[in-house]
């Protein structure tokens, strides 16, 4: 198995955000190098003070909340703090949303372009959510 995991996260749906966070956190604490690329509808959840609630796409999303499963933001933060994970916002999405680095969560790195992400992702597993 490759020791590099790249995750492209574009969904704003609870189940997909959760699964991406689970792959990132388990991958990172298992010793893999993990890169998460945030874009489209996912990026908004990684801004400081975001009070948006990820909409459930189906019954599992509602159960995740009902059963108090660890939230996707907590899992992403753990992936960065406890393993070798880096979370990058898409430079185009950052420009479109007019976000500066100080508006993003502390564990989110500087913006990264899609070309660079794809180049780096070519050496390992790639997951899209």
Cβ–Cβ < 8 Å for 90, 111: yes
Structure token digits, residue 98: 């007019």
pLDDT at 23: 98
Q: Is the pLDDT of residue 1 over 90?
A: no
pLDDT-based confidence at residue 2 (cuts at 50, 70, 90): low
pTM, two decimal places: 0.94
> Does pLDDT of 65 surpass 90?
no
C-alpha 73/C-alpha 17 separation (Å) is 9
Assign 32 to helix, strand or coil. Answer: coil
Across the beta sheet with 84-89, the strand order is 84-89, 33-38, 4-9, 125-128
Mean pLDDT score, 94-112: 97
Domains of the chain: 4-128 (3.40.1260.10)
């Amino acid at each position: 198995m490759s020791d590099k995991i790249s995750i492209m996260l574009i969904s704003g749906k609870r189940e997909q955000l959760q699964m991406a966070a689970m792959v990132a956190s388990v991958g990172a604490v298992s010793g893999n190098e993990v890169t998460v690329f945030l874009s489209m509808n996912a990026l908004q959840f990684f801004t400081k003070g975001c009070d948006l609630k990820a909409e459930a796409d189906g019954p599992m999303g509602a159960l995740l909340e009902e059963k108090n499963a660890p939230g996707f933001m907590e899992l992403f933060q753990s992936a960065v703090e406890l393993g070798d994970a880096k979370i990058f916002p898409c430079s185009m999405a950052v420009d479109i949303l007019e976000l500066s680095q100080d508006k993003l969560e502390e564990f989110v790195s500087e913006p990264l372009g899609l070309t660079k992400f794809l180049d780096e992702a070519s050496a390992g597993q790639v997951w899209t959510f």
